[in-house]
């Protein structure tokens, strides 16, 4: 969203950005982004999503200043307290302040989501574009591998990997990334297939560009926008899988305030001290919803040709 | 969460160079690629099962077995052989239809799967049914009212389905619908008084009881499945309504719709018959995919609702390094996934005149 | 479309109209319990908690004990017994007129066969019997029926009599119906494959059905010699989630919930329709400190860590109702159990000890931890108190089998575990906590002392001597002496003894929670 800064009231900028005859490549690119931003801004739900995600980022950055307590400080005498002016969102089964844990948990959530996206998307992109462009045996082998990973239940595969790699947030991230790339590979392949035989790729090929160069410089950039949309939409899924791992007791190590693990430890007292599991449940829900709304909005802007396909 | 209908083009035309008649070549292609996928699936599962740092012997002999018992069982299980030999032996047995025995249940894996898979099938089918029944109309309504409030409401409702941790929703659902409002019975597939009153023919209680004419049991099973299926179905509803909306938008902008309207065809007919009729093909794929995803077994839903299904069985086996059970159920899941994918491809080809 | 709609309406109506049963039938007991640990129903192989409970309710043994005072041993399938003067020959007179549900009469031959079978099959729990010198080769001579009603057992040495007798009350000593079992023998397996999922014994209840990870159903044995129980059927359903168990109990859909946590029990207590019942179990919770770790091998460090656990704080909160502070390896109720609890949370003392040991700033250490409640909560409390003295504890959570695999391979630093006795004699725990005949990596026996690489030739000798002491008072004194030394020097931070708690409907009475897992009995349960 580099255009955000330019979206001020200065009319000159607007005119420059919206110019129908851009003088330079970067002007055209910025102009396109600005138009996208305008249509994105008109989408209230998407803006809400963006707001939630920005809030998550801010909370994560400023967690130590926002949280009133150390997220791991136990006061056994004050366990399972309801909302109060002292403990805004109550305390958990070890007498830790839930609000502080939620705030610090935002860091973990963001960390997981970003790292998974950074690992999984490029893998999917590389596999998908290579398979799609090269075709033949490469395609067969790569897509068979993709199918194998797709045919696995995601959570079970992640579970197996986590227990193989050992617990810890980094390993959970790797496990989730390994289960997340196949759909990206499929998208990238499908996109590549539609581009592969287009005139401009043929032109590049005639100029003598190598295969890897074509894939890397011409096909990958074209697949990126739909992939960004897909990844944003998947972020909610990543959060939910991480929470599922936490719920099953694998994933983050105690006493890390991972939201799924917080639900897991609070679920025993759900009937009587409902807030212990519900507050992190709501946190997961709000953030997932934020990413979903954002992704939905981005898709309308960036990827109009799929017309809203998931 | 769900796979998009991204690549309708079948992967793998690696065998096209063989000079055989086309139908035969296609068949061989399909068989070979399915077989390869299966083998790969088994191989990956096998490797994962072996790198998981859990001693498979432990599940059988427990924590306190004397060393000589541990050693004996290790040899009985063939764990003293090199890994590749273990794999070859396993594949050989599978080809003879022997999936081995589960150490956790002391029964053949095939029997276990026959017991747990129908439970998952039942849950996933009802969930998908609910997802379709509500998701398609919602998608259509959203498309017709594009950009207006019904569209926004439906969009949010759908996104909610993508955003709630299922185990939390499940526990909350039980708390409200079961404990507080008394609308549904508790967890499990049946009230226990009906337990083993019905002979498992298919294993799907809804079908078995209906076939036997035991309507009490049938309705009891319905009342038990409705809450977990609704919660699971919410996720497919979200997906299905989303996709329906986008397919419908595409159709509603087509010329034939305008033509039909001009001709004076009633508006509901234009939407629900003409337009919806034309999106049935991609919709089938969407529904099949979401169905396949549910069939993979929702471990968390099964845990919360004490639903003895495949997902729970698989997780349990995995954490006990019960390799035969893990491999067996992974194959079933894989088969379902591959089967449904192929079926939807086939349906696509049958229903879509352009693809013929 | 219209048909579909009609279906939906019908379904919705059916759901809302189905009256949910408010209570269970009067003659059926429904229990919610985590029973996924059952992997076999053959008493020669059963070694799991839920499996033992099944066997306890369905299989009689020769003798039993009073669950409130285990020193009182009485005949069950045997009417009486005598012990020879040299202390090596035990002669049992069988009870008259007992028949198996199959119709076969129970004889001494069945009893002899059952014990021989357990030794020949040599499954995990077989050591309970083989420790008296029985082998597959000699067992036909050493354990034999001299006539229909007389069983003779000869041990290789003159053991403390209660040691032998308690082992005969264990699950592995259950009496099976020889004829029925042998009818199902395949390839000389003594009917093992069949009995793993079936039943051939005599007891207050008999097996109706076992669906793994789903349910275990028992039916009343109407012809039981001790009188038929009040409950016609007992259904144990596998319900993983404690919250779900609580919901079911509150709604009256089950009679007993077995896996509730302390805070749930608090809410159960305040509900007049429900009641809480408990019984002291023999299991102890402990930290195992690997002596392969340099810091933990220092005796002062071991001492310090014993002062860094908030025993009282945990007892009042995360393990309230579930455990009581206990700091010796023999649980209360056992012969010679040491009941003193010298350790409390004392950070300054611990800091001093750590400084003396050369760790004034503490050290970093890992702890392998099962990812289940309340172990996980305990671990976090320990993590916090260790931290107060600078000991940086990293919790490595894992599934049960995963942490156990690591522990058994001696790859841990600290392991937080639970140990339940296998039978009611003190040797069961002395054998594992205070004996380590061979500390090498490829040792034949691998007790807990071995797992923590604690080499104790002297204490091993003392433990070995204690099983041959036939005078109970002297024997108790021996065990007290071992425990006192153990409490100070051992790499085991023994913290708690388990109390098993069950939440029941107020009208469900008579469920027995005994000291061992096969002592949880249903035959006296009534519902009024």
Q: Which residue in C285, C353, C289 sits closest to C323, CA to CA?
A: C285
DSSP assignment of B5-37: S---SPS--TTTTS-S-HHHHHHHHHHHHHHHH
Q: Is residue A29 located within the same domain as residue A50?
A: no
Cβ atoms of residues C325 and C280 within 8 Å? no
Q: What is the pLDDT of residue A304?
A: 52
Contact C241 B196 (CB under 8 A): no
- Cβ-Cβ contacts under 8 Å, C402 against chain A: 163
Q: Residues A249, A251, A253, A256: what is their CA dihedral angle, to the nearest 10 degrees?
A: -100
Q: Which of A232, A237, A264 is nearest to A248 (CA)?
A: A264
Q: Which of B171-185, B186-200, C29-43, C196-210 is the least confident region?
A: B186-200
Chains that touch A (3 or more CB pairs under 8 A): B, C
Q: What is the pLDDT of residues A276-289, one digit of tens each?
A: 988 998 999 899 88
pLDDT in tens, B139-154: 999 988 887 888 888 8
| pLDDT surpasses 50 at C5 | no
Q: Are A48 and A37 in a shared domain?
A: no
Count of CB atoms situated within 10 Å of the CB of C421: 26
Q: Where are the alpha helices (DSSP H) in A135-168?
A: 136-150, 154-165
The pLDDT, as a whole number, for residue A299 is 78
The predicted structure's pLDDT at residue B12: 41
Comparing C-alpha atoms, which of B126, B165, B141 is closest to residue B242? B141
Residue C234 banded pLDDT, cuts 50, 70, 90: very high
Cis upstream peptide for C374 (omega within 30°): yes
pLDDT in tens, C90-118: 999 999 999 999 999 999 999 999 999 99
The label of the residue with tokens 């994560």 reads: A60
Do A184 and A83 fall into the same domain? Answer: yes
Burial class (CB in 10 A: 0-12, 13-18, 19+), C178: buried
Residue A307 clears pLDDT 50, i.e. is over it: no
Backbone φ and ψ for B307, nearest 5 degrees, come out as -100, 110
* Residue pair A108/A256 in contact by the 8 Å Cβ criterion: yes
A7/A139 same-domain check: no
> What distance in Å separates the CA atoms of residue A251 and residue A258, rounded to the nearest whole number?
9
Chains meeting B at 3+ CB pairs closer than 8 A? Answer: A, C
Q: What's the rounded Cα separation, in Å, for the pair B216 and B228?
A: 20
Is the pLDDT confidence value at C62 over 70? yes
**Which residue among A250, A268, A270 places its CB closest to the CB of C373?**
A268
If we measure between CA atoms, which residue out of A285, A226, A246 comes closest to residue A56?
A285
For residues C167 and B271, the model is more confident at: C167
Tokens of C319: 């393990």
Q: For residue C391, what pLDDT is reported?
A: 96
Tokens for B65? 């077995």
Answer whether the bond into residue C462 is a cis peptide, omega within 30°. no
CA nearest neighbour of C335 among C132, C139, C474: C474
Structure confidence at residue C16 (pLDDT) = 47
Q: Are the Cβ atoms of A140 and B52 closer than 8 angstroms?
A: no
- pLDDT of residue B297 exceeding 60, the answer is no
In whole angstroms, give the CA distance from residue A65 to residue A59.
9
What band does C18 get if pLDDT is binned at 50, 70 and 90?
Answer: very low
Q: Nearest Cα to C282, choosing from C318, C331, C335?
A: C331
DSSP for residue A187: H
Structure tokens at C137: 């080769």
Q: What percent of chain C has pLDDT over 90?
A: 81
Q: Give the pLDDT confidence of B1-35 residue by residue, as tens digits.
A: 333 434 334 444 444 445 667 777 777 877 887 78
Cα C459 to chain centroid distance, Å, stands at 25
d(CA C433, CA A199): 78
pTM to 2 decimal places: 0.86
> What tens digit of pLDDT does each residue of B273-294 get?
888 888 887 788 788 878 887 8
Residues of chain C in contact with residue B230, where contact means CB-CB under 8 angstroms, are none
Location of structure tokens 């074509």: A214
C-alpha–C-alpha distance, residues A199 and A214, integer Å = 13
From A143, A244, A281, residue closest to B300, measured CB to CB: A244
Asked if the Cβ–Cβ distance from B226 to C213 is below 8 Å, we say no
Q: Which residues of A touch C379 (CB under 8 A)?
A: 254
| Pairwise CB contact (< 8 Å): C217 & B196 | yes
Nearest CA in chain A to C247: A271
Q: Do the bridges between strand C492-505 and strand C274-289 make them parallel or antiparallel, or are there none, so unpaired?
A: antiparallel
Residue A305 has pLDDT above 70, yes or no: no
- B197-227 tens-digit pLDDT: 777 778 888 888 888 888 888 888 899 999 9
**Which of C21, C251, C401 lies at the smallest CB-CB distance from B179?**
C251
Whether residues A34 and A92 fall in one domain:
no
Statement: residue A250 has pLDDT above 80: no
Asked whether residue C11 carries a pLDDT value surpassing 70, the answer given is no
In this structure, the answer to whether residues A183 and A302 fall within a common structural domain is yes
pLDDT attached to residue C75: 95
pLDDT tens per residue, range A42-98: 788 889 999 999 999 999 999 999 999 999 988 888 888 899 988 989 999 889 999
The CATH code of the domain that includes A74 is: 1.10.3720.10
Average pLDDT of the residues of chain A: 83
A255 preceded by cis ω (within 30°)? yes
Rounded CA-CA distance C216/C269 in Å is: 28
Q: How far apart are CA A219 and CA A193, in angstroms?
A: 10
**Highest averaged pLDDT of the listed ranges A108-122, A275-289, B265-279, C480-494:** C480-494
Per DSSP, the residues of A226-268 read HHHHHHHHHHHHHHHHHHHHHHTT-SSPTTS--HHHHHHHHGG
The first and second tokens of residue B194, run together, are 């009906």
Instruction: State the residue for tokens 């212990």.
Output: A276
pLDDT beyond 50 at A7: no
Q: Which of B347, B303, B343, B290 is nearest to B4 (CA)?
A: B290
Examine the pLDDT at B180 and tell me if it is beyond 60: yes
Q: Which two tokens stand for residue B89?
A: 């032996």
* pLDDT tens for each residue of A188-213: 888 888 787 778 778 888 887 777 78
Asked if C354 and C295 touch (Cβ cutoff 8 Å), the reply is: no
For chain C, say whether A76 makes contact (Cβ under 8 Å): yes
CA dihedral A30, A35, A37, A40 (to 10 degrees): -160
- Residue A228: what pLDDT? 81
Question: C127 vs B103: CB contact, 8 Å cut-off?
Answer: no
pLDDT of residue B353: 57
* Three-state secondary structure string covering C168-198: CCCHHHCCECHHHHHHCCCCCCCCHHHHCCC
- Least confident segment among A29-43, B290-304, C3-17, C267-281: C3-17
pLDDT in the model for residue A172 = 87
CB contact under 8 A, A151 and B319: no
Residue B125: per-residue pLDDT: 92
Q: Is there a contact between B63 and C408 if contact means CB atoms under 8 Å apart?
A: yes
> Residues, chain A, total?
310
pLDDT digit string (tens) for C189-231?
999 999 999 999 999 999 999 988 889 999 999 999 999 999 9
Q: Domain tally for chain A?
A: 2
Residue A227: partners with Cβ closer than 8 Å, 6 or more residues away: A121, A124, A125, A184, A187, A188
CB–CB contact C263 A93 (8 Å): yes
CA gap A187, C64 in Å, rounded:
68
Highest mean pLDDT among B1-10, B74-83, C75-84: C75-84
Three-class SS string for B84-137?
HHHHHHHHHHHHCCCCCECCCCCCEHHHHHHHHHHHHHHHHHHHHHHHHHHHHH
Q: Looking at the partner chain, which of B54, B67, B185 has a beta carbon nearest the beta carbon of C401?
A: B54
Lowest mean pLDDT among C63-67, C182-186, C398-402: C398-402
Q: What is the percent of chain A with per-residue pLDDT over 70, rounded to a whole number?
A: 94
Assess whether A1 and A145 both reside in one domain: no
| C-alpha–C-alpha distance, residues C463 and C490, integer Å | 14
Same domain, A167 and A235: yes
Secondary structure E strands in C11-68: 28-33, 63-66
* Residue of A72, A94, A253 lying closest to C397 (CB–CB): A253
How many inter-chain contacts (A to C, CB under 8 Å) are there? 83
- The total of other beta-carbon atoms located within 10 Å of residue A301's CB is 20
- Which of A177-181, C217-221, C345-349 has the weakest average pLDDT? A177-181
Provide the token pair at C328: 């010796």
C392 near A CB under 8 A: no
Interface-testing mutation among C380, C383, C406, C501, with chain A (most A C-beta atoms within 10 A): C380
Same domain as A90, residue A80:
yes
The residue among C308, C298, C295, C303 whose CA lies nearest residue C388 is C308
CA angle, B168 then B171 then B176, to 5°: 120
Complex ipTM: 0.81
CA distance B252 to B68: 73
pLDDT at B312 over 60: yes
- Check B103 against C39: CB less than 8 A apart: yes
C159 pLDDT band, cuts 50/70/90, is very high
Based on the fold, state whether residues A155 and A226 are members of the same structural domain: yes
The pLDDT score that the predictor gives to residue C229 is: 95
Provide the mean pLDDT of chain C: 91
Residue A112 has pLDDT above 80, yes or no: yes
Reference A92, options A286, A287, A274, A283; nearest CA is A274
Of residues B61, B133, B313, nearest to C213 (C-beta): B313
Interchain proximity B64–C124, CB inside 8 Å: yes
Q: Distance of CA C111 to CAs B140, B232, C134, C168, C178, Å? A: 73, 53, 15, 11, 8
**Pick from B45-59, B223-237, C13-27, C388-402: least confident:** C13-27
* Between C429 and B76, the higher pLDDT residue: C429
What is the mean predicted confidence (pLDDT) over A125-143? Answer: 87
Pairing relationship of beta strands C492-505 and C323-325 according to DSSP bridges: antiparallel
The pLDDT confidence band at residue B192, using thresholds 50, 70 and 90, is confident
* Cα–Cα distance, C177 to C59 (Å, whole number): 10
Residues of the domain holding A18? 1-42
Q: Smallest Cα–Cα separation from C32: which of C187, C255, C186?
A: C255
B positions 85-144 inside 8 Å of A (CB):
none
The per-residue b/e assignment along B27-38, b for 16 or more CB within 10 angstroms, e otherwise, is eebeeebbebbb
Helix runs in C152-294, H state only: 161-167, 178-183, 192-195, 242-251, 262-269
Q: A116 and A19: one domain?
A: no
Helices A98-134 and A44-61, axial angle in degrees (round to 10): 120
Using DSSP's 3-state secondary structure scheme, residue A21 falls into: coil
What is the pLDDT, as a whole number, of residue A303?
60
Q: Do residues A93 and A147 both lie within one domain?
A: yes
Structure tokens at C343: 């350790």
The whole-angstrom separation of Cα C454 and Cα C291 is 6
Phi/psi at B27 (nearest 5 deg)? -60, -50
Q: For residue B13, what pLDDT is reported?
A: 42
Termini Cα distance of chain A? 22
């Amino acid at each position: 969203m580099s255009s955000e800064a330019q979206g001020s009231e200065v009319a000159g900028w607007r005119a420059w950005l919206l110019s129908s005859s851009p003088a330079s490549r970067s002007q055209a690119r910025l102009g396109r982004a600005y138009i996208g931003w305008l249509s994105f801004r008109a989408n209230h739900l998407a803006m809400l999503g963006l707001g939630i995600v920005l809030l998550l980022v801010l909370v994560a950055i400023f967690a130590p200043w926002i949280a009133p307590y150390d997220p791991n400080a136990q006061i056994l005498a004050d366990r399972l307290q309801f909302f109060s002016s002292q403990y805004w969102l109550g305390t958990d089964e070890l007498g830790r302040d839930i609000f502080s844990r939620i705030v610090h948990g935002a860091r973990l959530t963001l960390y997981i989501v970003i790292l998974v996206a950074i690992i999984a998307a490029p893998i999917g992109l590389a596999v998908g574009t290579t398979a799609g462009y090269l075709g033949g045996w490469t395609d067969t082998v790569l897509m068979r591998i993709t199918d194998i990973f797709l045919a696995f239940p995601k959570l079970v595969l992640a579970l197996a990997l986590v227990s193989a790699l050992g617990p810890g947030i980094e390993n959970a991230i790797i496990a989730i990334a390994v289960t997340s790339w196949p759909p990206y590979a499929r998208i990238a392949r499908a996109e590549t297939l539609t581009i592969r035989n287009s005139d401009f790729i043929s032109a590049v090929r005639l100029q003598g560009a190598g295969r890897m160069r074509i894939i890397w410089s011409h096909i990958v950039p074209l697949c990126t926008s739909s992939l960004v949309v897909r990844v944003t939409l998947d972020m909610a899924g990543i959060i939910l899988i991480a929470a599922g791992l936490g719920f099953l007791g694998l994933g983050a190590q105690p006493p890390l305030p991972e939201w799924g693990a917080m639900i897991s430890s609070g679920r025993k007292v759900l009937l009587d001290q409902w807030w212990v599991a519900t507050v992190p449940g709501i946190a997961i829900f709000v953030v997932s919803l934020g990413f979903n709304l954002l992704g939905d909005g981005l898709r309308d802007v960036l990827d109009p040709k799929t017309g809203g396909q998931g | 969460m769900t796979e998009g209908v991204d690549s309708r083009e079948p992967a793998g035309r690696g065998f096209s160079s063989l000079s055989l008649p086309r139908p035969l070549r296609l068949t061989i292609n399909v068989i070979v690629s399915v077989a390869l996928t299966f083998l790969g699936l088994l191989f990956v599962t096998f490797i994962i099962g072996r790198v998981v740092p859990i001693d498979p012997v432990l599940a059988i002999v427990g924590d306190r077995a004397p060393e000589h018992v541990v050693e004996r069982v290790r040899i009985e299980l063939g764990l003293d052989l090199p890994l590749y030999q273990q794999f070859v032996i396993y594949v050989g047995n599978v080809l003879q239809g022997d999936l081995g025995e589960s150490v956790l249940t002391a029964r053949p894996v095939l029997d276990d799967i026959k017991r747990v898979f129908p439970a998952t099938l039942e849950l996933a089918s009802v969930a998908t049914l609910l997802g379709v029944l509500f998701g398609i109309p919602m998608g259509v309504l959203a498309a017709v009212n594009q950009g207006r409030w019904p569209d926004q409401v439906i969009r949010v409702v759908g996104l909610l389905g993508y955003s709630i941790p299922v185990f939390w929703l499940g526990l909350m659902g039980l708390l409200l619908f079961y404990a507080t409002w008394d609308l549904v019975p508790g967890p499990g597939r049946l009230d226990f008084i009906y337990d083993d009153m019905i002979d498992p023919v298919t294993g799907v209680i809804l079908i078995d009881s209906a076939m036997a004419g035991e309507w009490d049991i049938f309705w009891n099973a319905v009342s038990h499945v409705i809450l977990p299926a609704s919660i699971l179905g919410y996720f497919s509803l979200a997906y299905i309504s989303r996709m329906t909306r986008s397919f419908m938008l595409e159709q509603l902008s087509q010329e034939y719709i305008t033509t039909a309207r001009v001709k004076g065809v009633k508006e509901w007919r234009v939407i629900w018959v003409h337009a919806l009729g034309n999106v049935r093909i991609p919709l089938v794929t969407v529904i099949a995919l979401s169905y396949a995803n549910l069939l993979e077994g929702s471990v968390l839903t099964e845990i919360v609702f004490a639903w003895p299904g495949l997902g729970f069985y698989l997780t349990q086996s995995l954490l006990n390094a019960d390799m035969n059970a893990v491999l067996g159920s992974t194959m079933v899941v894989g088969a379902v996934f591959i089967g449904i994918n192929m079926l939807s491809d086939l349906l696509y080809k049958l229903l879509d005149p352009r693809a013929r | 479309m219209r048909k579909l709609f009609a279906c939906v309406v019908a379904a919705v109506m059916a759901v809302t109209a189905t009256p949910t049963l408010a209570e269970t039938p009067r003659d059926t007991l429904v229990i919610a319990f985590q029973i996924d640990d059952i992997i076999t129903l053959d008493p020669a192989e059963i070694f799991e908690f839920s499996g033992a409970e099944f066997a306890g309710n369905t299989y009689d043994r020769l003798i039993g004990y009073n669950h409130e005072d285990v020193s009182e041993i009485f005949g069950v399938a045997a009417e009486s017994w005598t012990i020879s003067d040299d202390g090596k020959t035990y002669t049992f007179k069988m009870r008259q007129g007992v028949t198996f549900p199959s119709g076969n009469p129970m004889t001494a031959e069945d009893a002899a066969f059952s014990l021989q079978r357990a030794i020949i099959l040599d499954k995990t729990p077989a050591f309970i019997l083989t420790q008296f010198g029985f082998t597959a080769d000699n067992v036909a001579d050493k354990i034999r029926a001299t006539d229909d009603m007389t069983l003779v057992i000869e041990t290789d040495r003159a053991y403390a009599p209660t040691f032998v007798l308690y082992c005969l009350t264990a699950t592995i000593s259950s009496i099976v119906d020889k004829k029925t079992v042998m009818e199902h023998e395949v390839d000389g397996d003594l009917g093992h494959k069949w009995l793993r999922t079936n039943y051939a014994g005599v007891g207050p209840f008999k097996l109706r059905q076992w669906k793994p990870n789903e349910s275990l159903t028992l039916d009343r044995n109407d012809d039981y010699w001790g009188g038929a129980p009040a409950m016609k059927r007992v259904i144990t359903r596998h319900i993983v989630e404690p919250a779900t168990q609580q919901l079911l109990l509150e709604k009256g859909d089950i009679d007993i919930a077995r896996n509730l946590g302390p805070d749930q029990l608090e809410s159960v207590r305040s509900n007049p329709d429900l009641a809480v019942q408990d019984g002291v179990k023999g299991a102890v919770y402990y930290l195992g400190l690997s002596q392969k770790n340099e810091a933990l091998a220092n005796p002062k460090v071991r001492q310090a860590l014993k002062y860094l656990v908030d025993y009282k704080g945990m007892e009042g909160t995360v393990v309230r109702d579930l455990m009581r502070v206990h700091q010796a390896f023999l649980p209360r109720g056992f012969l010679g159990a040491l009941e003193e609890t010298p350790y409390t949370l004392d950070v300054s003392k611990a800091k001093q000890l750590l400084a003396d040991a050369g760790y004034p700033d503490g050290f970093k250490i890992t702890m392998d931890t099962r990812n289940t409640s309340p172990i996980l909560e305990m671990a976090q409390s320990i993590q916090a108190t260790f931290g107060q003295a600078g000991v940086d504890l990293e919790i490595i959570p894992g599934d049960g089998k995963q942490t156990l695999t690591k522990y058994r391979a001696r790859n841990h630093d600290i392991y937080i575990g639970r140990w339940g006795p296998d039978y009611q004699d003190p040797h069961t725990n002395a054998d594992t906590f205070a004996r380590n005949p061979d500390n090498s990596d490829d040792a034949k026996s691998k007790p807990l002392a071995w797992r923590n690489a604690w080499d104790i030739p002297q204490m091993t000798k003392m433990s070995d001597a204690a099983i041959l002491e036939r005078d109970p008072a002297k024997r108790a004194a021996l065990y007290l002496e071992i425990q006192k030394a153990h409490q100070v020097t051992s790499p085991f931070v023994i913290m708690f003894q388990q109390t098993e708690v069950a939440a029941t409907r107020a009208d469900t009475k008579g469920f027995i929670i005994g000291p061992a897992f096969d002592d949880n009995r249903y035959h006296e349960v009534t519902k009024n």
